[in-house]
Amino acid sequence: MTSFSPVLAPPSLSRRRLLAAGAGLGLQMWGSRVLAASSRRKFVLVILRGAADGLSITPPVADGDYVALRRELAITEAALPLDGDFGLHPELKTVHRLMGAGQGRFAPAVAMPAAGRSHFEAQDRLEAAAGNDVSSGWLNRAMAALGGGSTPEGLSVGPVAPLVMRGDLATSSWSPGRTVETAARLPMLVQDLYADDPLLGPALARGLKTEVLAQANLARLAADLPDASGTMNSAKLSRTLLGDNRDAGRLGGAVAGFMREDEGADVVAVSLDGFDTHANQAGALSRRLAYLDALLAGLQGGLGGGWRETVVLVVTEFGRTARVNGTSGTDHGTASTALLLGGGLKAGGLIGDWPTLQESRLFENRDLASTTDLRSLFKGVLADHLGLERRTLDTTVFPDSAQARPIFGLV
C-alpha cells in the first residue's frame, strides 16, 4: 500500500474548506461510526422518485375498468404477460425474464400510511418510516439493528445520500459523474490532515475506499466502451453513466462491482429520478422504465453467482391517478406497484390483494386504493433475508408499527 507523508495545510486552507473540497469530489460519509465486516446476503433498494405509475408498470389487463379509465395510456396488447390478470410494461423485459424464472414478484397496490400527495412529504415518510420523525432512515436503522460482526456495509448511489440510508450507522455514498481525477492528491492530503481525528479520520478513510472501488470498476467498464476517439477513460464513463439511458446497464454493473468486493457493499440504495409524468406520460415513462430495466440487467449480470444471495426491492413514494388528465398524463395518486426481484426468492406472483378499479373502490374517487402497507413488505424482506426479529422491526426499525404485520415467506 502506498504511504503518504503528513502534510500541513497552509494558513489560508482551513479545515472547513478542505472538507468542502472533499465533498465536492464525491467523498460523502454519513453517520458517526465504522461498520463491521460484511455478510454474504445482499439487499438493494431502488427508489423511483417522482411517483411512478403502477398502473403502467403492472397494468391490470383483466380489470374491466382499466381501459375506460386509462384511455390512450392503457397498456393491453403490448403488455408482457404475467398471470392473465396482470402484465408488465413492455420496456421491463429483464423484469419479465426474472419473473418467468421464479425470481420476481410484484405488489400492485402498495402505499405508506398517510403518505399524502406531496413528493417531499411522501418521500420522507417512505424513507424515514417513523411518522413525523425524519432524523434517520429505516434502512440505516435496520443495518444498525443487526449489530456485532454481522453489521453490513451500506452504500448510496445517486446525487445525494437518501434519507433512507442516513442515521447513526456510517455508510458510504457514490455519485456517478463525480471523480477525483481532476485533483488526485487532494483526498490524500485531507486524509493525512485528519488521520488522528477519531471522527473524521475513519470517515475519510471510508470515502477514499469507496472512491478507489469506483475508479477500479469504472476502469474495467471503460475498456468495453470506446468513444469517438477510440478511448474512454473512467471520468468520461462516469459522466456517461449519469446521463445516458443506453448505458444504464453499465451503471448496474458498476454497482455490482461494489457489491462483489470482499469488503464491499452489502446494502445499497439507488435513487432514480424522472417519474413525475403529468404530461405525455407514455413516452417519458417508457424511457425511464427502459433505464431501470437495463440497470437491473447490469446488476444481475455483474453479480454473477452472487445474484442467488441478493434481493432487490423497487418502490416509489406514491402512485398516480386512475384517470388520465387533460395532457395525456396522470397526477399524484395513492397506491402504486412494488417489484421484488432476486435469485433467492420463493416462486410466486402477486403479493397482496387487488382492490379493483371500480369507481366505488377508488380512493377519494380518483386513486387506486392501497391494500398493502409498504412497511409490511419491508419487514418481510428484512426478516426473511437479513434475519431481523419481529420485535426489532416493530419497535426500532419501524417505530410503533406492530399493526403492519410482516409478509413472510417471500425469500
Q: What per-residue confidence (pLDDT) applies to 175? A: 84
Type of residue found at 298: G
> Average pLDDT of 145-169?
87
Lowest mean pLDDT among 12-16, 163-167, 397-401: 12-16
> Average pLDDT of 215-233?
48
Helix extents (H) in 49-185? 54-57, 66-70, 93-100, 119-128, 138-146
Q: What per-residue confidence (pLDDT) applies to 149? A: 63
Please give the Cα distance from 71 to 119 (Å, whole number). Answer: 26
Please give the Cα distance from 54 to 321 (Å, whole number). Answer: 10
User: pLDDT class for 40, splitting at 50, 70, 90?
Assistant: confident
Burial class of 101 by CB neighbour count within 10 A (0 to 12, 13 to 18, 19+): exposed
Q: How many CB atoms lie within 10 A of CB 314?
A: 22
CA nearest to 346, candidates 256, 408, 266, 267: 408
User: pLDDT class for 69, splitting at 50, 70, 90?
Assistant: very high
Q: Would you state the cell numbers that stand for residue 394, as one nine-digit string? A: 416493530
- Rounded to the nearest 5°, which phi and psi values hold at 63? -75, 125
Which has the higher per-residue pLDDT, 178 or 83?
A: 83
Listed in order, strand segments (DSSP E) in 49-117 are 80-81, 87-88, 104-111
Q: How many CB atoms lie within 10 A of CB 342?
A: 25
Which has the higher per-residue pLDDT, 304 or 25?
A: 304
Please give the Cα distance from 341 to 82 (Å, whole number). Answer: 15
CA nearest to 399, candidates 47, 153, 132, 115: 132
Cβ within 8 Å of residue 365, ≥6 positions away: 359
User: pLDDT class for 21, splitting at 50, 70, 90?
Assistant: very low
Please give the Cα distance from 5 to 46 (Å, whole number). Answer: 41
Q: 353 with 371: CB under 8 angstroms?
A: yes
Q: Would you state the cell numbers that stand for residue 2, as one nine-digit string? A: 502506498
- Rounded to the nearest 5°, which phi and psi values hold at 24? -65, -20
Residue 228 pLDDT more than 60?
A: no
Please give the Cα distance from 243 to 245 (Å, whole number). Answer: 7
What pLDDT digit, counting tens, does each position of 179-210 carry? 444 444 445 444 455 555 666 556 555 555 55
- Rounded to the nearest 5°, which phi and psi values hold at 111? -165, 160
HSE at residue 216, side-chain half, CA atoms within 13 A, is 13
Please give the Cα distance from 48 to 275 (Å, whole number). Answer: 7
Please give the Cα distance from 89 to 283 (Å, whole number). Answer: 12
Q: What per-residue confidence (pLDDT) applies to 198? A: 61
Q: What per-residue confidence (pLDDT) applies to 261? A: 83
Place of cell 424513507: 127
Q: What per-residue confidence (pLDDT) applies to 152? A: 82
Cβ within 8 Å of residue 352, ≥6 positions away: 107, 108, 109, 110, 371, 372, 407
Give me the domains of the chain, ranges plus CATH numbers.
Answer: 15-397 (3.40.720)
CA nearest to 314, candidates 252, 369, 262, 368: 252
At residue 197, the 3 state secondary structure works out as: coil
Burial class of 255 by CB neighbour count within 10 A (0 to 12, 13 to 18, 19+): buried
User: pLDDT class for 114, splitting at 50, 70, 90?
Assistant: confident
What pLDDT digit, counting tens, does each position of 307-366 carry? 999 999 999 999 999 999 999 999 999 999 999 999 999 989 899 999 999 999 999 999
Q: Which residues pair with 103 in a beta bridge?
A: none
User: pLDDT class for 214, splitting at 50, 70, 90?
Assistant: low
Please give the Cα distance from 95 to 82 (Å, whole number). Answer: 11
> Average pLDDT of 68-82?
98
The mean predicted confidence, pLDDT, of the chain is: 82
At residue 151, the 3 state secondary structure works out as: coil
Q: What angle do CA 43, 406, 154 make, to 5 degrees?
A: 20
Q: What per-residue confidence (pLDDT) applies to 262? A: 79
Q: How many CB atoms lie within 10 A of CB 274?
A: 14
Q: Which residues pair with 310 in a beta bridge?
A: 42
CA nearest to 298, candidates 238, 252, 240, 245: 252
Name the region of 175 (left: φ>0; alpha: ψ -120 to 50; beta: rest).
beta
> Average pLDDT of 114-142?
93
Residue 236 pLDDT more than 60?
A: no
